[in-house]
Structures are given as structure tokens and as C-alpha cells.
Amino acid sequence: MEIVLLILKIIGIILLSVIGIVFLLAALIMFYPVSYSLQAAYEDSLCAKVKVHWLFHLFSVTLDYKEAGKKCILRIFGIPIMDFLNPRPKKEKKKKTQKRKKKKSGREKNKKSRNQKKKEPVSDISEESRPRSQALENENSSKKNINTEAYDSSEHKVGAENGNFPENEKEKSKSKRKAFWEKLTGFPKKLKMLIENMIQKVANLYHKGIDLKEKVEKWLEVLKRERTRQAIDKAKQKIMKLLRHVLPRKWNAYVEYGFEDPGTTGQMYGYYWMFLGIWNEHFICVPDFEHKIFKGSIKAKGRMQVIRFLYTAFQFMFDKDLVYLRKINTEVNS
């Protein structure tokens, strides 16, 4: 009995430890933030680097963009595992393909050698060495062919003069007439089909326009309600909160520019000062009134939690006002 209780105790400890590890991993995934950083610079060419890492750089993905090439490397514990944009070819496949190529080349060589052995040297036989009987037979056959060709051509000329063509030409002329007549008789049917299709398309467009008009009228009626306005405002607030959470918390940008016309340069610099309160010293702009130039750089850092995405999704699924918006959509489309 004591042994059974000991075994059950060990099984319970193992189960509890497994459940604890699962909960710990779930909590880490949901609550530990995923950090990201962006660095980009432009001067004659664009260079950019994006890095996403999680859990003290345990897992990280770096995207490196340059004119020379692109890289997207996955690292675990800082060790590069794979490049998504430039995957390495497997060595085993290479070896197999090389072996197959060698086997094919060996087979082809063996076949060529066998064919060469089978072939015998052909001796050029001159006409003088041939027997006279064979030469006479060849002359007679050539004369017969010439006579038959001359006879056929004369018959064809006589038939053309008298208006009597061979049977094949008569059949061809009949088939051409039939095809022409079928085209003539089939033209009204084709025209009728084309007109019917055009009418059907116009009718479909008309019905679609009526349906769209009805939908717009329904949406206008629905949007006039106070509850719909409250629900839309609530949805906007949730989306804006999520965007604030995702967008970078620290960022700096620097731009040095200049146009051919100093007036346009000054005009752009005026627009920069108009919106200076929005970026609040995060964005520095330096105009160059003498040279045509454009160069700049940007740095940004941010982080996001999975729990925030899950929380907003849960609210959109179960909140009364947000569920009401989905019901409105089904109402209007029905």
C-alpha cells in the first residue's frame, strides 16, 4: 500500500510540475513584451535594419536590407538557425543529385560506345562498280515516273479547259460554300445572343445599383441612432488604444534636404514648422538652399504584449455595444 501511495505521489508531483510549466510558458507568452527596433538611413542608397526579440533575446529575428543583399535571420540563444530569405541548400540533396548526374553520364557513355561498335563502316559504292542491270532498271523507272507526271498534268489542264475538275477539288469547293452559308445563317443568331447578353448585363447593373441604394439608406437610418454612435465611439477608442500600444515609444528622425529652387525648399521648411508641435523635437529637418540634396535617418523602438491583443479581441466579441455593431452589419446586409 505504501508503494502505491508513493507511485501516486510521484505521478501527482510530475503532473503538477507539467501544469506549472505550461502555465508559466502561457504567462510568459501573454505578459512578457515583444520588443522591436528599427534603424534606417538614406544617402545615395537605402540601408535598413529591423530587429524583433523576446525573452532577453532568447528568440530574435533580424531583417537586414542593403543594395548588396537582403537577410532575415532567426536566432535562438544568439545562434543563427536559418535565413528566411536565403535558405541554405541541403548537403544530402546536393550529394544525391551529383551521384545521379554521374550515373546518367556513365550510362550515356556506355550507350555511345555500344552504338559505335554496332555501326560498320559504309563503303562508298560508285556508279561504275554497280551492275549494268541495276542501272538499266533505275533508268526505266525514272522514265515511267516522268511519263506519269506529264500525263497527270495534261489531264488536269484539259479538265480545267473543259470545266471538269477532279473530285477532290469539287469537294473542297462544296465545303467552302457550306462554311460560308453556315456563317451567313449563323450571323443573326450570334447578333441576337450578343444583344440578349448586353440587355442582361444592363439589367444586372440596374439591380445592383438599386441594392446599393437600399443599403446606403439603411446605413444612414442606422447611423442616426444614438446607440450606434456610442458603439462607434467605443470601437474607435479601443482601436486607438491598441495602436498607441503598438506604435514606437521612442523615435528620432533627421532629414537634410534641398531643391533646385530655393523657394520650394523654404516652402517645405515652413510646413515643417507648422507641424512642429506634433513631433515635439523627435523630428529634425535641416534645409539646404544652395545644393540639391536629400539624406536622412530614423531610429525607433517599441514593444507590444500579446495580452493586449487578446483583451481587445475579447471585448469586440463579448461587449454589448460592440456586439450591437456586428448585429447592425448583419441587419443591413440581410
CA pair distance 199, 193, nearest whole angstrom: 10
pLDDT of residue 159 exceeding 50: no
Question: What is the predicted pLDDT for the residue at 107?
Answer: 67
- Residue 167's pLDDT band, with cuts at 50, 70 and 90, is low
- Across the chain, mean pLDDT equals 81
Q: What is the pLDDT of residues 208-219, one digit of tens each?
A: 999 888 888 888
The domain limits of the chain are 33-101, 150-224, 226-333
pLDDT greater at residue 206 or residue 93: 206
117 pLDDT more than 70: no
Whether 100 shows a pLDDT value over 50: the answer reads yes
Candidates 216, 283, 220; CA nearest to 248 is: 283
Per-residue pLDDT for 276 more than 90?
A: no
Instruction: Evaluate if residue 206 carries a pLDDT over 50.
Output: yes
Q: How confident is the model at residue 1 (pLDDT cuts 50, 70, 90)?
A: confident
Does the pLDDT value for residue 2 go beyond 90? no
pLDDT confidence of 307, banded at 50, 70, 90?
A: very high
Local structure of 44: helix, strand or coil:
coil
Residue bearing the bigger pLDDT, 181 or 151: 181
Under DSSP, the state recorded for 39 is E
77: Cβ contacts below 8 Å, ≥ 6 apart: 58
For range 158-183, the mean pLDDT: 63
Which grid coordinates are listed for 132?
549494268
Average pLDDT over residues 259-272: 92
Q: Does residue 130 surpass a pLDDT of 50?
A: no
Burial (Cβ within 10 Å: 0-12, 13-18, ≥19) of residue 89 = exposed
The answer to whether 45 and 317 have CB atoms below 8 angstroms apart is: no
Mean pLDDT of 320-333: 84
